[in-house]
Structure formats: structure tokens, C-alpha cells
A and B are shown apart, each in its own frame.
Chain A
Amino acid sequence: MTEPKTIDVSHLPPYDISSQAPLWWGQLLLAGIEGMMFCILMAAYFYVRLRMDVWPPPGDQYPHKLLATIGLVPLLLSCVGSYWAGEAAKKDDRGGMIKGLLLNLVLALTFFVIRVLDWYSLNFSYKADAFGTYMWTFLAVHAYDYTADVIFTLVLLFLVLIGRHGPRVRLGVHVDSVVWYFLVLIWIPLYVIVYWGPNILETQ
């Protein structure tokens, strides 16, 4: 009787920081879940809009576009930092990871400050009517996810700073960029809907 064949895998690397890693796929699916949720929120917004004659309802003003548009600049640029850190993580380049994560965080926080200033200029409450409810939902849900990822990026930066950047943490730094790109990309349709939507959909 011949012996069963064997495939020896001991020469393969013990980890891999790339899109082959299971965690990368997990993050991609997480982004898919959140993306689907945002799609449903947007569909719901248009559904409600199409059933109303006047949009926005009387008493609600259009949101100002200036601050939100300025905010796009740091937001889009923050992806550069995220990319930098993600690539540095592959090469085990501690300096690159620190610089990339710092750039990402500084720009992300800049966007956040602009956003909070912008919120003060919105003159409709989430409780006032359906328009306010749907608008604030976009803002609040995105801000919640955004804050959560900023906090986790901070934790990653801290871990790299104290020298605990083993393969697991580096994989974390790499896949963190997947979620970050998602949060930036999904903001673009939300920005168009919140700040331009009432104009475009105006019927008067």
C-alpha cells in the first residue's frame, strides 16, 4: 500500500500583511455591512422626499455648503496618511507607520472640528419633522462610525509608539485603512445628499 501524499507548508510565512489576510476580508465585509446600511438610509430619504410636495418643509433652511465643502479637503487628504501607514505596516517600518497614522489623525480631527462648527449652523432639529430626522441621521450615524475609527486609530498609534507593533498590530494598521477609505468614500454621497440635495430636489 502506498503512503498518503503530504503537502508540506512549513516554508510558508507565518503571517501575511496584505489583502490575502483573513482580517482584511473581515474588514471588507464590515464595510459592506455598513455600506448597505447607508444605502438603505439614503433610499429611505429619497422615498420620503418623493412623497412630499415641498422640500425642505417650510421653516427649515437649506444647510450652508461652505464649511462642509472646505471639510472635504482634509478628509480626502487623510487617506494619504492611512495609505502611508498601511504600506509601512507591510514593511515593518515603525517610522512610516507613526508618520502615516499621525497625518491621518491630524487631518481626520481637522475635518471633525469643521464638521462640529458646521453643525451649529444647521437650523433644523432632528425632532422638528421628517426632513430634520433624516438629515441628522446621516450626520449622526456617520459621525459615530467616524469617531469610533478615529479612536481605534489612536489606539494603534499608541501601540506602535510603545513598540508593541508585532505582526498582529501591523495587520491592524494595514486593515484599518480599509475601514478608513470606506468612511471617507461613503461621506461623498452623504455630503451631496445633505448639502446639495435640498437644492437639487427643490420643487418651487
Chain B
Amino acid sequence: MIQTQDVLPNVPNQEEDISNLERVWRRGRGLFGWLSVTTHQAIGMRYIVTAFVMLLVGGIEALLMRIQLAKPNNTFLNPDLYNQIFTTHGTTMMFLFAVPMMEGMAIYLVPLMCGTRNVAFPRLNAFGYWMFLGGVLFLYWGVFTGAAPDMGWFAYPPLSGPQFTPGKRTDVWAQMITFTEFSALCVATEIVVTILKMRTPGMTLNRIPLYVWSLLIQSFMVIFAMPAIVVASSYLLSDRTIGTHFVNPAEGGDPLLYQHIFWFFGHPEVYIIFIPALGFVSAIVSANARREVFGYPAMVLSQIANGFIAFGLWVHHMFATGLPQIGEAFFTASSMMIAITSGVQIFCWIATLWTGRPRMTTSLYFVYGFIAIFVLGGMTGVMLASVPLDLQVHDTYFVIAHFHYVLIGGAVFPLFGAFYHWFPKMTGRLMSERLGRWNFWVLFIGFNLTFFPMHILGLKGMPRRVYTYPPEVGWGSISQLATLGAFIIAIGGIMFLANVFMSRKTGSVAGNNPWEADSLEWAASSPPAPYNFEYLPVATTRTPMWVPREERAFVTGLRTDRREVLVTTLMDAEPHHRYVLPGSSIWPFITAITVTIGFIGSVFNPWYIISGSILTFFGLLGWFWPRRSTEIRDEAGVRA
């Protein structure tokens, strides 16, 4: 008997339960088994690895741009290639790295933190990953066949329309969006239902870990924001392929409408990336300050407020389009308002660290780095919210500096902190703290060296998206500094990879709870068994792992000879009924292939939408067809 949980209740037939769980949750053999996996740890890890590869690819694209801009009149990249690279860089970082990475972490961590065995819809989860992978492969197929998009990552018409960008480049971009949005919506749905209906008993709404709260808010934001980008990219694509007039000004369409719809998605998107990062920070701060995060209700409410306000900001991306002044004033006010709710959280973390006993781990270094960089990015955000200043620096490097400060500072630094924090949970071994601190400082210095000078470049008038500049304008030396910083960031990235590969082999063994942290993922073994827990741990307080061992409680009586989980009530997490999750299946993969045929085909011929739909129908039929082996039979005396 392998015991993976740190404490187990004394129940009869424990050995039998564990061997049943091992058998029922085992993955199939070979390629077929690999393609059929539906456990959340495996799918989450696939997201994390794929998105990390995308971070590296996007980073290489950034380096190519920085080499080109290092000196005036440089000819390292030609203008066309430069356009393709900056568009692919932005697209990759936003759609193929940041969002999927946050989703991968959520898929991995949320079921563990909620004390359950898997996400609510395991097959949908697998399907979502394959769709994401389809988007990655489609975009990079474009890159390597000369069809990389070249009109900027937000693809404004009329530039992106059929008249000014013929060929397939914009179509590849638009359909890549569809892939990733499908994936994001699948994940959001299953995360919301997992959090609302599958929390372990005792985990009432006011005991949900702050990281899980952040994912609940983020998933609702995905559900309300992503349909907008589906509409925007479909408008663009159908104007280009079947001659509709959504955004074509010649026939009554409106290109500005595209901007509205795009940013109605695009602004919440920033928070979709950033809010889970706030959750990482809360988890890291409470584990390392060794106390509960200060002001739990204020934290939760300000995150919820962030989620709402994020939908009322989008027009600040469009101040230069000549909108009515009253509208601009409204969006200025709301853009400044979000600084309040973000500020509340910063103060709560500072109060937690101030009153706790902080232990200076690498992950906490990254949190400090986050606070410093993010506050600076927030300041330039308040500046940009003011219309006159925005008009001066619109589309300059000042804006580039601002959003790299908020996105890298606000999301990537906490993400690296999260890697250092949860690496032991995912692999069973600790990362090197010594190398980790070097890693932090190199990244921190490299980051500031790259992006701080861009504020100055912007104020000096350097526009974004220019492939070169003449020497007289005097941007050369500052640009060179930024390029130097970019290479230092690259060294930091290499150090991180080195730490990952070395620690996986030789890192010290972590045990279940190396940080003595408070949330339930630390009750499982490192790495967790496919079923997470032998007996689901009950959340007796908001910090269940800080409860003395003898006072902990467990759920017994779930059947172990099938993938059974517990469904609880929404508010109070009272046990309601048992529920059997589906097992491994190849059908999500097959369905993803049929949807991919429809999506990619429709770029070339709109009729593929129909044939793809028909094929997908058969995919879904296989997916949902009841199999006798998995049917739930009533036990004696139990009728639902």
C-alpha cells in the first residue's frame, strides 16, 4: 500500500480502497493512452509546458526585434519580416502564452485546492487542450510558410481588411483566435462548475482559498469577454472570405465597431491574465508570511470589483479615435477607479507581510519584484487614463513600456514565483533557492533595463511598430540599452530552465508540504496521485493545513471502484450527492480534429464550416454515447 496523503483516517478496507483508486485512475498505455488522458494534472501540465514553450518562442521574437532596433538604419530584419515578427510576438504572448498558462495552472491547482479528484468536465478539459494546441500549430504553420500575420496583434480594419492585407495572413490570425477562445471557454466553464459544485465539505464561500476565488472571477470574466473576440474575429474573417460588410465602411459597416468589440474583450483580457496572478501572490504571501492573508473579505471584494470594472475600461484604448468627450471622461474615471481596488490588494499583502514572519524564499522575492514593478506600471496606467496625456504618447514606446510593466510585472513575475512555489508539488523536488535568487535578480535587473528606457523613448516621440529609425532622432543609445536588457532577460530565462532541469533530477525531495502552507493541495503527495486524495480532506477552517493533525476531518464512503466524486451545495458546500466522472477517452481528441478541419478549412473555403460541423457531430456522438461499462447502476435501496 502506498500512502500518499500525509494523514489518513482509520477506516476499514483502506488497502482495498487505495488499490482500487490506483486501478481506476490509471492512464492507458502507449500513444492511444496518452491521447485519451483526462486527468487534470496531466492536462494542466500539458498546458503549462506548451504555454512555456510559447513564452520562449515569443521571447526569441522579442530578441530579434531588439537586435533590429539596437542601432539606427539597421538592416537585420526587413520591414515585412519585422511586421510579421511584432505581430506574432504580441499574438503569441497574449493568446498562446499568458492566457493558456494561467489556465494550465488553474487546471492543475484548482481541483487540488478544492479537495476533489478532477475537474467537473474532464473530457471537455482534454478537448480544450487539443483546441489550444491546434491554435499553436496553425499560427506557427503560418509563420513557417510565410503566412504569419503582419497587421499588429489587434488587427484593426481597414488595414486588416481584404483591400489592404490580401493573402491568408490575417485569416490565419483570426482563426487562431477562434481556436484559443474555444479552449479558454472550455476551461472557464469547467473551472466555474468545479469551484461552485465540487468543493470539499466545509469549504463554504468564505473559506475558499484566495487563489481559487481569483480563478472563479477570472473564469466568469472569460465567459463574458471571450464571446466578444469570437464575434470580432468572425466579423473580420467573414468580411475577408465571404464578402460580408460588418466592418467594411464602403457598404455601411464600421471599422470603429471592430475596435469597440475587440477592446470590450481586450481590456478584460488583461485582467483575465492578471487576476490569477493576484491569486498566486496571495498563496505565496500567506505561505511565506506564515499567516492568513490580511483582510480576506476586502481582498475578495476588491477582486470581484476588479472583474466588474475591467469591463468598463475598454475605450481608453481608443482615446485617439475622436470619440465624444463625455464618453472619454467616463472611461478616464473608470480607468482611474481600478487603481483603488488594485491598491487595496497591494496594501493587504503588505499588511500580511508586515504582521507575519516572512521567510525570504525565491517565490517571495518574485512577489516583492511584482509589487515594485506593478506599482510603477499602475502609475503610468493612471497617467495614460488621462486623455490629453494619452493623446501625446498614444502609439509610442511609452505605451509599450506601460503594458510590459503591468503584464510582465503583474503576471509574469507572480507566475515565476508560482513556479518556484508549486514546482515541488508538481515534481516532488524543490528547486534550487540559491540559483532561484540569482534568477530573480537577473530577471529583475534585465526587465527594468529593457523597459524603463522605453518610457523615455516614448516621451521622445518614438512610435511603436517602426522597423528602424534615422540616427538624427537620437533614439540609438537608449534603444541599445533596452536591447542589452533584453539579453539579460534571456540569461534569466536560461537560468530558470537550468534550475528546472537540474532540480528535477537532483533537487532535494520535497515531501507533501515543504513550505508548511495552508491550502489543501499540500495535503496530497508530491506529485499528486491521479486521484489526488485517498479520502477527500474536509476544510474545517479557511487554512485547513494549519489545523492540528488530530483535528482534521475526511470524507469516507465514496466508491473507489469508479471515478466517483462528491457534489456539494453552492454556498455552504454541504454534501449533496455522489457523481461519477467519465474516464479516459479518445473522443475529445477526435472531436478536436474534426473541429480543426472545419476551422482551418473555412479559411480556404467557407463550406468547410458545414462539413466540419457534420464531422464534429459524429465526434460528439462518440463522446456522449452511453457505454454499458460506465453506466451508473443504482445500489440497493438507493433511488435518485
Which residues of A come within 8 Å of B, CB atoms?
Answer: 1-17, 20-23, 25-26, 29-30, 32-34, 36-37, 40-41, 44, 47-48, 51-52, 57, 126-134, 137, 144, 148, 151-152, 155, 159, 164, 166-169, 172
Contacts and interface: CB of A to CB of B under 8 A. Distances in A.
Given A13-B638, A22-B193, A40-B261, A7 B567 contact: no
Given A164-B626, A167-B631, A25 B223 contact: no
A10 B556 CA distance: 7
A9 B556 contact: yes
The 10 closest A-B pairs by CB, nearest first: A10-B557, A130-B252, A37-B227, A16-B577, A5-B553, A166-B631, A36-B227, A8-B557, A133-B244, A22-B120
A26 B235 CA distance: 27
Contacts of B9: 3-6
A48 B555 CA distance: 57
B244 A127 contact: yes
Contact of A6 (B224, B243, B556): B556
B578 A29 contact: no
A30 B192 CA distance: 12
Interface stretch (B196-204, B425-433, B595-603): B196-204
Interface residues of B, number: 77
9 contacts: A2-B550, A4-B8, A4-B9, A6-B9, A7-B575, A13-B640, A20-B577, A26-B189, A32-B224
B261 A44 contact: yes
Given A1-B550, A37-B230, A168-B632, 9 more contacts: A3-B9, A5-B552, A9-B555, A12-B576, A14-B564, A20-B569, A30-B189, A134-B246, A167-B640
A12 B120 CA distance: 18
B632 A15 contact: yes
Given A9-B557, A12-B575, A44 B231 contact: yes
B252 A14 contact: no
Given A6-B554, A129-B252, A133-B244, A155 B621 contact: yes
B464 interface: no
Contact of A4 (B196, B260, B554): B554
Contacts of A13: 577-578, 638-640
A134 B246 CA distance: 7
A44 to B, nearest CB: 6
Interface in B537-574: 538, 549-559, 564, 566-567, 569
B567 A20 contact: yes
A98 B538 CA distance: 42
Given A126-B244, A130-B251, A40 B192 contact: no
Contact of B228 (A11, A15, A23, A40): A40
B10 A168 contact: no
A41 B556 CA distance: 49
Contacts of A15: 577-580, 632, 640
A152 B559 CA distance: 31
B1 interface: no
B640 A37 contact: no
Interface string B470-492: 00000000000000000000000
Interface of B: 7-11, 120-121, 124, 185, 188-190, 192-193, 196-198, 201, 223-224, 226-228, 230-231, 235, 242-246, 248, 251-254, 257, 260-261, 264, 535, 538, 549-559, 564, 566-567, 569, 575-580, 613, 617, 620-621, 624, 626, 630-632, 634-635, 638-640
Give the most central of A14, A30, A167: most B CB within 10 Å: A14
Contacts of A9: 555-558, 566, 575, 578
Given A30-B189, A47-B257, A14 B632 contact: yes
A4 B552 contact: yes
A148 B121 CA distance: 20
Contact of A168 (B188, B556, B566, B631): B631
Contacts of A44: 231, 235, 246, 257, 261
A48 B235 CA distance: 13
Given A15-B632, A20-B569, A26 B253 contact: no
A89 B488 CA distance: 63
Nearest to A10: B557
A17 B538 CA distance: 25
A12 B635 CA distance: 11
Contact of A47 (B223, B260, B549, B556): B260
Contacts of B253: 48, 130, 133
Nearest to B201: A7
Contacts of B226: 33
A14 B640 contact: yes
Contacts of B553: 4-7
Nearest to B540: A5
A14 B635 contact: yes
Nearest to B558: A9
B264 A40 contact: yes
B193 A29 contact: yes
Give the most central of A2, A5, A13: most B CB within 10 Å: A13
Contact of A14 (B235, B246, B535, B580): B580
Give the most central of A133, A151, A155: most B CB within 10 Å: A133
A37 B261 CA distance: 11
Contacts of B630: 168
A181 to B, nearest CB: 18
A7 B640 contact: no
A41 B124 CA distance: 26
B565 to A, nearest CB: 9
Give the most central of A3, A16, A33, A57: most B CB within 10 Å: A33
Given A4-B552, A14-B638, A130-B246, A40 B251 contact: no
A11 B577 CA distance: 9
A166 B625 CA distance: 11
B312 to A, nearest CB: 14
